[in-house]
């Protein structure tokens, strides 16, 4: 997700989208060029908090596990999880 699309160059977004979308089917690149209000709403679904700071962004870390139905199955806050834990929860 591009949280501050107004400072990202369209060429950079297009190139990264092309690279990501040529990756194996399991990976998905979301090109999120919405207004600031729309971004706050979208990131709010995930519990992601961010703010501009000195030309960069400060944000918390949230990893979303999306179920086969396209809904959020689980949110992992921070980095205190590992792949084995997620795989065990999927079984």
CA distance 36 to 39: 5
Q: What per-residue confidence (pLDDT) applies to 46?
A: 87
Q: What is the DSSP string of 8-47?
A: S-HHHHHHHHHHHHTS-TT---------HHHHHHHHHHHT
CA distance 43 to 63: 12
- pLDDT tens-place string over residues 42-53: 888 888 888 888
At residue 17 the predicted structure's pLDDT band, cuts being 50, 70 and 90, is low
- pLDDT tens-place string over residues 23-78: 555 555 555 567 778 888 888 888 888 888 887 778 888 888 888 888 888 899 88
DSSP 8-state assignment for residue 85: H
Q: DSSP 3-state assignment of 58?
A: strand
């Amino acid at each position: 997700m591009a949280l501050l699309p107004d400072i990202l160059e369209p060429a950079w977004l297009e190139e990264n989208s092309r690279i990501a979308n040529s990756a194996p089917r399991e990976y998905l690149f979301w090109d999120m060029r919405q207004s600031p209000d729309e971004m706050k709403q979208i990131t709010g679904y995930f519990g992601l908090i961010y703010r501009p700071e000195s030309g960069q962004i400060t944000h918390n870390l949230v990893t979303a596990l999306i179920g086969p139905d396209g809904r959020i199955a689980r949110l992992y806050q921070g980095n205190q999880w590992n792949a084995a834990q997620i795989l065990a929860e999927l079984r």
